[in-house]
Amino acid sequence: MRSYFIRTFGCQMNKHDSERMAGLLEGAGFAPAKSIESADVIVFNTCCVRETADERLYGQVCSLKALKTGGRPDVIIAVGGCVGQRDGASVLKHAPHVDVVFGTHNIHELPSLLEAAERGRPAVSIVGAGESFSSDLPYVREHAWHAWVSIMVGCDNHCAYCVVPSVRGPERSRTVEEIVAEVSHLVADGVVEVTLLGQNVNSYGRDRYGEPRFAALLEAVAATGIRRIRFATSHPKDLSDETIAAMAALPALMPFLHLPVQHGSNRVLAAMNRRYTRETYFQRIAALRAAIPDIALSTDIIVGFPGETEEDFLETLDLVGRVAFDHAFTFIYSPREGTPAASLTETVPREVAQDRFDRLAALVHSLSLASNEREVGAVCECLIEGASRRDAAVLSARTPQNRLVHLPLPDGTSPDSLAGTFRQVRISAAHPWFLSGEFAE
Ligand code: SAH
Ligand code: SF4
C-alpha cells in the first residue's frame, strides 16, 4: 500500500484541513507513513500569515530535493494550503521539484491531482473562494477523544496587516443543523471535547442568517451532551454579551478565552483597522470576569507595526499588565504582500522591534508564571490527553482553563488507555508554561 506524510504549518484551521487531507488520502487507498523520508506522497499544508512560516516551508520543500535526486525519483511532493493559494504555479519557480500545487478551497481535489501528477507532472489547481466548501469532507482525527469542528471559513475583517482574508476568502458559515449533526456523531464516536473553529467565531451566522448566531450555536452544541466545548478565534469587537452569558451558563463551555488584542495603543489599533479601542477591550474583559470569575485569558500581540512609537509600545505593556493575561502569543510584525499595511513606509527598525518583543516576552513570561503559581494546591477536573511529547512516562492533561498539567504515569497503566478520561488532579508545582500535578483520588 502506498503511504503519505503531511507536514502542517500554522493555525488550528490548517491542522483540521490536514485531517481532511488524511481522510481523503486514506479514502484513496493510502496509509500513513512512519517518516517523511519513507513516504510515497509528501504533502505540505502551508501558512503565509507570517514570514517565518513562509520561509520555513520553502526551506523544507527545497531540502527534499535531495530525496528525489538521491534514489527516490518517484516520491510525489504536494504543496497546499495558504501558500499554494497565494503563489499558485509560482511555487514551482522556487521549488521546481514540486509535483502538485493546490489551495485552501480545493482540498477535495488532492487525490485527483496526485493521479494527474503521476501521469505528467506538475499538476496545479487553484480555485477561488465560494466554488466549494470543504467542511463536509471526511477527516481522520489526530485523537480519538478530541475533534476540531469547522463552523465557518474565511474572514470579513480585513485587519491591515493580515493576509487571511485574501487566502481564505469571505466569511461563510455552516448551518446550525449541520454542525450539531457533526458534533452528535462525534459524541457517539467517543469524542469528549470539541473545538469550534473559525477566524472570527463571534460573527458566526451573519452571512447565512443576517445576524450573528454564535451564542445560539453554543447552546445547540452543548445540548448534544459533549463534555467540553472550546472555540477559536474571537474578535473583541464581536464578543457579545449573549456569548459571554452562554459561556457562563453552559457547564460544557470551558472557562477559557483566547481574545487577540494585537495592540494596546488606540492609534495603532485604528491603523490596524481592528475597530475597537483599548477601553472597549478592558470593558469586554471586565464583563467576562464578572460573568465567569475563574476564566483564564490568552491573547495575540503584534509589536513593531509601522509607525509604532515607544509610547505606543508602552501602552501595549500597560494593557498586558493590567489585563494580566494567563498566556499570550507574541509576534514581530512582518509585512505581507498585498495587505494594506505592506505599503506603509514608517517601518520600525528590526533591532527596535526585537528589543520591544524581548521586553514584552519577559512580561508575558512573568504573568504566565504568576498565573500558574496561583493554581498550586488547587484540585480540578483534568482531561488526560496521553503521553507528554517529551517523556513517555509523563502524562499530559488539561485543566478547564486550558492549562497544561504534567502527571506521573501510574504504574501498570499506558498513556493510551487513559487518554480521553477525566480525573481529579491536585496541582503541586508551577512552571512558566505548564503545571505539575498528581491524581487526587
Ligand atoms: N483570526 C485570528 C487569527 C489570525 S492569524 C484573529 O483574528 O485573531 C493569528 C495571529 O497572527 C494574529 O492574531 C496576529 O497576532 C498574527 N499576525 C497576523 N498577521 C501578522 C503579520 N503580518 N505580522 C505579524 N503577526 C501577524
Ligand atoms: Fe486576519 Fe483580522 Fe481576520 Fe483575524 S480578524 S483573520 S487578524 S483579518
Ligand 2 atom 1 nearest Cα: 162
Residue 183 shares a structural domain with residue 296: yes
Residue 177 shares a structural domain with residue 277: yes
CA distance 97 to 69: 10
Ligand that lies nearest to the alpha carbon of residue 13, given by its number in the listed order: 1
From the CA of 357, how far away is ligand 2's center (Å)? 21
Residue 263 shares a structural domain with residue 345: yes
Q: Is the pLDDT of residue 297 over 70?
A: yes
pLDDT category, 127, cuts 50, 70, 90?
Answer: confident
Start-end of H helices in 127-192: 164-168, 176-188
Ligand 2 atom at minimal distance to the Cα of residue 262:
7
Ligand 1 atom 14 nearest Cα: 300
Residue 182, C-alpha cell as written in the block? 457533526
From the CA of 78, how far away is ligand 1's center (Å)? 25
Query: What is the H or E stretch that residue 385 is in?
Result: strand 379-387
Residue 378 pLDDT: 97
Residue 395 shares a structural domain with residue 361: no
Ligand 1 atom 8 nearest Cα: 260
Q: Is the pLDDT of residue 319 over 60?
A: yes
Identify which of 210, 182, 185, 209 has the alpha carbon closest to the alpha carbon of residue 196.
182
Query: What is the H or E stretch that residue 152 is in?
Result: strand 152-153
Domain termination site, one of 90, 125, 160? 125
Name the average pLDDT for the chain: 94
CA distance 137 to 23: 8
Residue 58 pLDDT: 87
Domain termination site, one of 125, 151, 184? 125
Express as a percent the part of the chain with pLDDT over 70. 98
pLDDT category, 137, cuts 50, 70, 90?
Answer: confident
Ligand that lies nearest to the alpha carbon of residue 199, given by its number in the listed order: 1
Q: Is the pLDDT of residue 387 over 60?
A: yes
Residue 128 pLDDT: 82
Residue 26 pLDDT: 96
Ligand that lies nearest to the alpha carbon of residue 262, given by its number in the listed order: 1
Widest CA span in the chain: 63
Residue 135 pLDDT: 61
Buried b (16+ CB within 10 A) or exposed e, 147-167: bbbbbbbbbebebbbbbbbbb
Residue 121 pLDDT: 78
Ligand that lies nearest to the alpha carbon of residue 330, given by its number in the listed order: 1
Residue 120 pLDDT: 82
Instruction: Look at phi and psi of residue 64 and say left if phi exceeds 0, alpha if psi is from -120 to 50, else beta.
Output: alpha
Identify which of 283, 294, 281, 289 has the alpha carbon closest to the alpha carbon of residue 255.
294
Buried b (16+ CB within 10 A) or exposed e, 370-409: ebbeebeeeebebbbbbbbeeeeeebbbbbbbbbbbbbeb
Residue 297 shares a structural domain with residue 256: yes
CA distance 381 to 379: 7
From the CA of 126, how far away is ligand 1's center (Å)? 24
Residue 212 shares a structural domain with residue 354: yes
Residue 139 shares a structural domain with residue 43: no
Task: Supply the CATH number for residue 420's domain.
Answer: 2.40.50
From the CA of 218, how far away is ligand 1's center (Å)? 25
From the CA of 164, how far away is ligand 1's center (Å)? 8
Compute the average pLDDT of residues 272-294. Answer: 98
From the CA of 50, how far away is ligand 1's center (Å)? 8
Cα angle: 125, vertex 128, 129; to 5 degrees: 130
CA distance 214 to 278: 24
Domain termination site, one of 125, 143, 169? 125
Pocket test of ligand 1: the residue of 50, 337, 350 to mutate, having most ligand atoms within 8 Å of its CB, is: 50
Q: Is the pLDDT of residue 136 over 90?
A: no
pLDDT category, 132, cuts 50, 70, 90?
Answer: low
Q: Ligand 1 — pocket residues by CB below 6 A?
A: 49-50, 161-162, 164, 199-200, 233, 235, 260, 262, 300, 302, 331, 333-334, 336
From the CA of 49, how far away is ligand 1's center (Å)? 7
Residue 284 shares a structural domain with residue 329: yes
Compute the average pLDDT of residues 247-272. Answer: 98
Q: Is the pLDDT of residue 131 over 60?
A: no
Task: Supply the CATH number for residue 199's domain.
Answer: 3.80.30.20
Residue 133 pLDDT: 59
Residue 67 pLDDT: 87
Our count of domains for the chain comes to 3
Q: Which residues neighbour 45 within 8 Å (Cβ) at sequence distance 6 or greater?
A: 6, 7, 8, 9, 10, 14, 17, 18, 21, 80, 81
Compute the average pLDDT of residues 21-36. Answer: 96
Express each pLDDT in 332-348 by its tens digit: 999 999 999 999 999 99
CA distance 219 to 208: 18
Ligand 2 atom at minimal distance to the Cα of residue 49:
1
Residue 202 shares a structural domain with residue 350: yes
Compute the average pLDDT of residues 18-29. Answer: 95
Pocket test of ligand 2: the residue of 48, 164, 203 to mutate, having most ligand atoms within 8 Å of its CB, is: 164
Residue 363, C-alpha cell as written in the block? 512580561
pLDDT category, 383, cuts 50, 70, 90?
Answer: very high
Q: Ligand 2 — pocket residues by CB below 6 A?
A: 155, 157-159, 162, 164-165, 199-200, 235
Residue 310 pLDDT: 98
Domain that holds residue 164: 134-373
Residue 385 pLDDT: 97
Residue 359 shares a structural domain with residue 415: no
Ligand that lies nearest to the alpha carbon of residue 161, given by its number in the listed order: 1
Q: Is the pLDDT of residue 134 over 70?
A: no
Residue 52 pLDDT: 84
Ligand 2 atom 5 nearest Cα: 157
Residue 95 shares a structural domain with residue 220: no
Ligand 2 atom 4 nearest Cα: 199
Residue 66 pLDDT: 86
From the CA of 162, how far away is ligand 1's center (Å)? 6
pLDDT category, 42, cuts 50, 70, 90?
Answer: very high
Per DSSP, 236 falls in state G
Express each pLDDT in 173-185 by its tens digit: 999 999 999 999 9
Query: What is the H or E stretch that residue 16 is in?
Result: helix 12-27
Residue 343 pLDDT: 96
Contact 272, 299 (CB under 8 A): no
Residue 198 shares a structural domain with residue 165: yes
Backbone phi and psi for residue 440, each to the nearest 5 degrees, phi listed first: -90, -10
Q: Is the pLDDT of residue 275 over 80?
A: yes
